[in-house]
Amino acid sequence: MFRIKKEAMEYFSEEVLQISASLFNVSFDSLKELAGFENIIYSGSIHERDVVIRFSHSSHRNEEQIEAIYQENI
């Protein structure tokens, strides 16, 4: 199984988190890190609606799979 390595975490900076939150209109101040095994997971809110943002390694999903997950959760 793939686990997020320490080296990968070096690229996951606060700036990356801020940009990601902005792209999804998630309030940066609302973000809370959740436990993750193969992913980096945060809870947050969009206009008082609770959401989860999951970051995973690109080897886990192709573009079609990501789009399908997105469409399921709209």
3-state SS assignment for residue 58:
coil
Q: Please compute the mean of the pLDDT values over residues 25-33 and round it to a whole number.
A: 92
The alpha carbon dihedral of 8, 28, 19, 47 has a sign of positive
Domain boundaries in the chain? 6-72
Nearest CA to 52 out of 71, 31, 22 is that of 31
Tell me the chain's radius of gyration from C-alpha atoms.
13
CA distance 40 to 57: 9
Nearest CA to 53 out of 66, 7, 1 is that of 66
Q: Please compute the mean of the pLDDT values over residues 58-71 and round it to a whole number.
A: 75
Return the higher-pLDDT residue of 67 and 8: 67
Task: Give, as one character, the DSSP assignment of residue 46.
Answer: E
The pLDDT value recorded for residue 2 is 45
